[in-house]
Amino acid sequence: MIKTTALLTIVCSLSISIHARSQSIVGTWVQTDFKETMTDKSTGQTIDMAKMLKPMLEMMENRITFGADHTMTSSSGFKGSPAMAAKGTYSLDGNKLTMHTDMEEKYKATEQELKSDNMSVKVPNFVTIEFRGGNLIMHYSSDITEDGKAHHFEFEGIYSRR
């Protein structure tokens, strides 16, 4: 019984892995939804930020195109208005997607820390991805300290192929 269970576990893991690899990031993706939470590091209280921000997302269009040659373009803006565009490169290592655009300083560390007199923001230079129900899901997190108060943000962007 234990050998059968172990074999089934291996087969299921392999089929999930093969299915994930068979999907390609190449193509154009439009953001259709997102999730965002903010956790106060001192109290542990978590707030669902997406509820407040979803009306703004509905007025916007965010699009990313990944080329087979590891180039990418993105655009973001309010519907009916000129979009802010960026182009650059990307690499995909397993489920770790790293993007560098002409709108950012290229950096080599696993995260970038932006500082001012009263604020510190740690931003990763990669996202983790998964394919779920035909959608591309991008996960990332960020830590922000402002006026001595520390918060942890979790983001999930949901993109559909166009």
Distances (CA, A) of 158 to 36, 135, 147: 11, 7, 32
| CATH class, 25-161 region | mainly beta
Of the listed ranges 43-47, 107-111, 140-144, 150-154, the least confidently predicted one is 107-111
pLDDT digits (tens, 9 = 90+) for 62-100: 999 999 999 999 999 999 898 888 899 999 999 999 888
pTM exceeds 0.95: no
**Pseudo-torsion of CA 12, 140, 21, 90, nearest 10°?**
-170
- Whole-number Å distance between alpha carbons of 61 and 22: 28
132 in helix, strand or coil? strand
Q: Percent of the chain at pLDDT above 90?
A: 43
Q: Which residue has the tokens 């565009």?
A: 85
